[in-house]
Structure 1
Amino acid sequence: MKDFREFLKEKEVILFDGATGTELLNRGYPQDKPIEYANILNPELVISIHREYIEAGAECIETNTFGANELKLRSWGYENLVEKINKMGIKLAKEASNKNIYVFASIGPIGKPIGKGFEIDEKKAIDIYKRQIISILEEDPDGLILETMSSTKEVEIILRLLDNLSVKIPLIVQFSFFKDMSTVLGEDIHRVIEFLKGIDVDIVGLNCGNGPLQTLEILKIFAQHLKEPFSVQPNAGYPQFIQGRLVYNTGETYFASFVKEYIRYGAKVIGGCCGTTPRHIAFIKKETKRDLLVEIETETIHEKEIEIKKKDTPSRLSRKLGKEFLVSVEISPPKGIELEKVKEGVKLLKMAGIDAVNIPDSPMARVRISSIALAHILKEELDIESILHFTCRDRNLIGIQSELLGASALGIKNILALTGDPPSIGDHPQAKPVFDVNSEGLVLILNKLNNGIDYMGNPIGLATNFTIGVAVNPNTDNPEQEIGKLKRKIENGVNFIETQPIYDKESLERFLERIEFKLPPVLAGILPLRSSRHAEFLHNEVPGISIPKNIRERIKESKDPKREGIEIAIELIESIKNIVNGICLILPFERYDVVAEIIMGFSR
């Protein structure tokens, strides 16, 4: 059998196979197992599907290895079978091909965003793909096909890895788009096209995401901007969820009716994706035997204008940072919708002279009213700005950006970027965490929105103007690690820092002296003590809080510990005024009057 690249030059159209996953499910493969595990669980079924596609006319078949990477298999508990599943996938396809059909190893996306501040950074992604690709290469496939890709970053990582491994076999790269011409991770089609212009592969193309008609519309855009040949592998239309299964209803005749136009717009590799069957491929085969017009017709397709408009107006707090000694108070959002107590408390704090209130985001993973809603109500009714605590626990990458844009539209412009407490410690321990990003990644997202683009680089119109804060723990047992994390956050773009509660000037000074890079304005966390038991609880049971022995003894020996706690807080604030740019007082037991007294008790 000749080299695939020679075959590609000679042939007008090359027919690939259709779906493997949906075919396995249609033939009784269990839904509670990963599709790729069929290579081990039921190899005869996999071989039979390959052979039916070959009998239908497929000249190339893809291996059942699309999701056989460590990360995806781990969710099923099969991460130790990466090598076995991938090798078996190649072996089964080769057995079915009988050395007369080209075997392309299918490689799909990891399924999560990649980059600094995400669960999967570049190094982890490289390790995950390297493990899969090396297993595949050991079985000598005729080519590789990267399919259903949604991130140019991910493809770039794979291509770099292949280059480092000196892989020279044929390579196809296919992206998947929604109807709005963006990928599942939000990359605009023109951004993808610009990326594809700069890579050196045998074929670029489209698969999954759409049925045959929408795939044609996207192919037309490819044809205007990129050099052929292209590949197209549409779904059999859009699925319905019937009796617990996805069902695709696009018939073979309709599906194959697009072949002529696919070829007209430069497609040389044609096959199918989700929901397609050997019958779809057989009907495509019939169409390819006809005399087809291959002259490309071009259409005028206007690229989206990428225009970054001017920024939104800044917050009042941002104008004061580094210029005035700021005072914020962290309040407790209620669990229900009764807000009168909060409003009355914030009125008292405003009279005492605060600059903002900090509003936690379901702190300690316990259900509370939406911090965005509460921030908006306080702004509208009391004209007080908030520092919104925003966590990564409950929102995926799309939800994070959507809610941040919503907050900005409501005039909430000060954000404290936090990773968030895991649900396991809260009042709904069965809830599933998200954590698509951590606080470092959240800072990066905020800065991109401030530059008029979303995380994937797509324009959002009017740029946001968030003032971005992060937390740091001066009491940590591992200051070097804490400082390293802080440095990475600052590199992503930070406007201010809030510390965990401190109880002595010296520990804060020692921590700050360790830092060798320039810091933005720092607000020191102050949590007033209410009793000896309160102090001992914080010191012994709350991570990140350390209270010196002399402070604990002082409040223990006091005849009026509540008053002593207020005096300790005022003295501490007076002692650190010259080394920080403000304070964030944390409301103890919803005692607004205590905090108001502290604010009025020190000189600003």
Structure 2
Amino acid sequence: MHRMTPQRPAVPFLEALQRSILVFDGAMGSLLYERGVFVTQNFEQLNVTRPDLVKKVHDEYVAAGAQVIETNTFGGNSFRLERYGLVDEVRSYNLAGAKLAREAAGEVAYVAGSIGPTGLVPGVASQADLRDAAATFTEQAGALVEGGADLLIVETFRHMEELRIAINAARAAAPSTPILASVTFDASGTVADGTPPERVASLLRDWGVDTLGVNCGDGPQLSLSMAERMRGVDLPLCAQPNAGLPRTVDGRLLYMATPEYFDVFTRRIIQAGARMVGGCCGTTPEHIRWMVKSARMLGGGVSPVVATRPQAVPLEVHGLDPVPLDQRSRLSAKIAAKQFVVSVEVNPSPGLSPDSALAAAKMLIDNGVDVVNVADGPRATARMSNLAFCSLLIQRYGIEPILHVCGRDRNLIGQMAHLLGASAIGIQNLVVITGDPPKIGDYPEATAVYDLDSIGLLTMASTMNRGLDPAGKRIAGGQTSFLLATGLEPGAQDLDREIRRLEQKRAAGAEIVMTQPIFQQELLDDVLKRIAHLEMPVLIGVLPLVSYKNAEFLHNEVPGMQIPENIRERMRRAPPGAEARKEGVRIAREMLFSVRDKVQGAYLMPPLGKYELALEVLDGLK
């Protein structure tokens, strides 16, 4: 009987990688071990003797949402098979392994043909052995592609010379098939020959691989650290860590890193620049299910079929049309009308009483300020909840606030509850940021959550603006109507990365930009030019300096702050006290008035609760 050829994704692998973050599957060997296959059994032989068992693992990963399925062929080279008396089975085991994975993946996932190391140590192995290694890698690669592999992954290599041999062999056997080269680092942060990750990445680029990555090792933290150091080359990056180090429990090896922990790791590694994520030893379909969820939260995890076959999607998936910008709040109406707006940051003092901060907010609004914004534990300090303070602003004085929302202190469920509560009490303006880490604040031992960074939070809030929760379900009662602002550091050390992040924030739903304080018109002009394509209204950050010491602290100790030497010199020459504050106001006024026609508003941050300085800076602006 004629068997139909298994279908493949319509979009080529590298094209899909440009469109979306892709999630690989997890472990094969440790799952087979857990299901009763003893370690003395050759796992690749199971592709022929127990194909049902191997395919069941593949099926479970596909059901979990994995978009790339690796073949059960990691040890399918002649050197490793020879230990079992199976040296002549290289082609048959690899061909069968690729066909099993292809059948499970169908058109919804890609098949990565897995090629692992031989166990040779290049500095010790003979030239004849190295030639044999090249030959067996070539045979493996050819059989894997013949069986249906969409890409080849040469993985878990610790010796760069053997990895080079494997890459050349794979390229010779399958010239048009993409190659992912993935290495394993030891705890000291090098491969076996001492090569650091930066050098590994540049070598792999020079050897012509299409993508590169890190896998196996001591667990997620090491993989994250190594991946961050490998991202300097312009190639898509993959991370597939073990589920931590294994422990022996009742005679069995168990891996201890939980699926929930891999959920957090996935967000962090994607934020660090990875385009591919997955698991290695000890990971399960449940780990992958959590990773898929995280990838989708950050704009990935899209099926290769969906990308090429537009379908009529029910309203429940698309949600409602967002409320028009000019109807969301008084601030959004002014933004939509292209009016110049002024926001001043007001935060309650630490402790129980918000009265002084409330009085300051009323004083500012009475003197022409458009809106008050309230930070979310700025500089990682503990004070009254900004949600509670904003509620008091609304109740007592009818003041429209901007609520800062940062990712540091609340998990995904808490963030959802926070935004629902904000909407319920009439807060319609949000500034969405990642947030300062606890170690810089009053309680450095506090645990940072960071379930969602600013991009994830923006995705959540913009989804709620369409009447959907993060899982895609309708929100009972309708939709939120938030104006979504985000931050930008013009003085960031890596401005290119900062602008790339802003582009991602724009795609996630950000509508306006509120910058960190800026003291250089030339820098602002450059930034405005570079972000003009985003067509986002900009509120320039303005911070009146109060002393020379204040200026030096901000310049030298606050990330993202650049205060030019001539400005710091002006503050140095000013006598301490009132004269220094006046000079700080003059500097702020000069900057703000010189750029007011280039931006849509100002975001003032009065230092040390000196709110009267904000009015001095603004005098005559409107």
TM-score by length of 1: 0.55
- 1:52 corresponds in structure 2 to none
The alpha carbon displacement at 1:541 in A equals 2.0
The alpha carbon displacement at 1:332 in A equals 2.5
- 2:108 corresponds in structure 1 to none
- Is structure 2 residue 369 aligned with structure 1 residue 354? yes
Runs (5+) with no aligned partner, structure 1: 1-35, 48-58, 94-106, 137-143, 165-194, 199-302
In structure 1, distance between residues paired with 2:374 and 2:296: 40
In structure 2, distance between residues paired with 1:342 and 1:437: 29
- 2:545 corresponds in structure 1 to 529
- 1:128 corresponds in structure 2 to 278
Deviations 1:89-109 (A, max 9, x none): 9x989xxxxxxxxxxxxx995
- Is structure 2 residue 417 aligned with structure 1 residue 417? no
Code of the residue aligned with 2:334 in structure 1: it is: K
Deviations 1:500-521 (A, max 9, x none): 1011322110222233522311
Find 2:498's aligned residue among 482, 485, 488.
482
Find 2:592's aligned residue among 573, 589, 594.
573
- 1:386 corresponds in structure 2 to 401
TM-score by length of 2: 0.54
The alpha carbon displacement at 1:561 in A equals 1.6
Pairs within 5 Å for 1:82-101: none
The alpha carbon displacement at 1:533 in A equals 1.9
In structure 2, distance between residues paired with 1:530 and 1:151: 47
- 1:396–1:435 CA contact under 8 A, matched in 2: yes
Pairs within 5 Å for 1:156-167: none
- 2:346–2:360 CA contact under 8 A, matched in 1: no
- Is structure 2 residue 497 aligned with structure 1 residue 497? no
In structure 2, distance between residues paired with 1:314 and 1:464: 9
In structure 2, distance between residues paired with 1:544 and 1:156: 30
- 2:620 corresponds in structure 1 to 602
Code of the residue aligned with 1:459 in structure 2: it is: R
- RMSD (CA atoms): 4.8
Q: Do the aligned partners of residues 75 and 481 (structure 1) sit closer, same or farther apart at CA in structure 2, a change above 3 Å counting?
A: closer
- 1:587 corresponds in structure 2 to 606
- 2:319–2:466 CA contact under 8 A, matched in 1: yes
In structure 2, distance between residues paired with 1:360 and 1:71: 40
* Number of equivalenced pairs: 390
Find 1:470's aligned residue among 478, 481, 486.
486
Pairs within 5 Å for 1:290-301: none
In structure 1, distance between residues paired with 2:216 and 2:450: 19
- 2:169 corresponds in structure 1 to none
The alpha carbon displacement at 1:314 in A equals 1.4
- 1:515 corresponds in structure 2 to 531
The alpha carbon displacement at 1:373 in A equals 0.5
SS in 2 for 1:332: coil
- 2:233 corresponds in structure 1 to none
In structure 2, distance between residues paired with 1:330 and 1:549: 26
Q: Do the aligned partners of residues 121 and 451 (structure 1) sit closer, same or farther apart at CA in structure 2, a change above 3 Å counting?
A: same
The alpha carbon displacement at 1:385 in A equals 1.2
SS in 2 for 1:497: strand
- 1:71–1:110 CA contact under 8 A, matched in 2: no
In structure 2, distance between residues paired with 1:92 and 1:116: 27
In structure 2, distance between residues paired with 1:538 and 1:155: 36
- Is structure 2 residue 564 aligned with structure 1 residue 548? yes
- 1:266 corresponds in structure 2 to none
Percent identity between the aligned chains? 33
SS in 1 for 2:342: strand
- 1:499–1:524 CA contact under 8 A, matched in 2: yes
- 1:117–1:439 CA contact under 8 A, matched in 2: no
Deviations 1:508-563 (A, max 9, x none): 10222233522311000000011222222222222211112222222332352211
Q: Do the aligned partners of residues 502 and 146 (structure 1) sit closer, same or farther apart at CA in structure 2, a change above 3 Å counting?
A: closer
- 1:114–1:125 CA contact under 8 A, matched in 2: no
The alpha carbon displacement at 1:311 in A equals 6.3
Code of the residue aligned with 1:603 in structure 2: it is: L
The alpha carbon displacement at 1:377 in A equals 0.5
- 1:365 corresponds in structure 2 to 380
Code of the residue aligned with 1:319 in structure 2: it is: A
- 1:115–1:121 CA contact under 8 A, matched in 2: no
Q: Do the aligned partners of residues 83 and 345 (structure 1) sit closer, same or farther apart at CA in structure 2, a change above 3 Å counting?
A: closer
- Is structure 2 residue 354 aligned with structure 1 residue 342? no
- 1:117–1:442 CA contact under 8 A, matched in 2: no
Quick check: which has more Rg, 1 or 2?
A: 1
- 2:260–2:290 CA contact under 8 A, matched in 1: no
The alpha carbon displacement at 1:413 in A equals 1.3
- 1:555–1:561 CA contact under 8 A, matched in 2: yes
The alpha carbon displacement at 1:602 in A equals 2.7
Q: Do the aligned partners of residues 156 and 146 (structure 1) sit closer, same or farther apart at CA in structure 2, a change above 3 Å counting?
A: farther
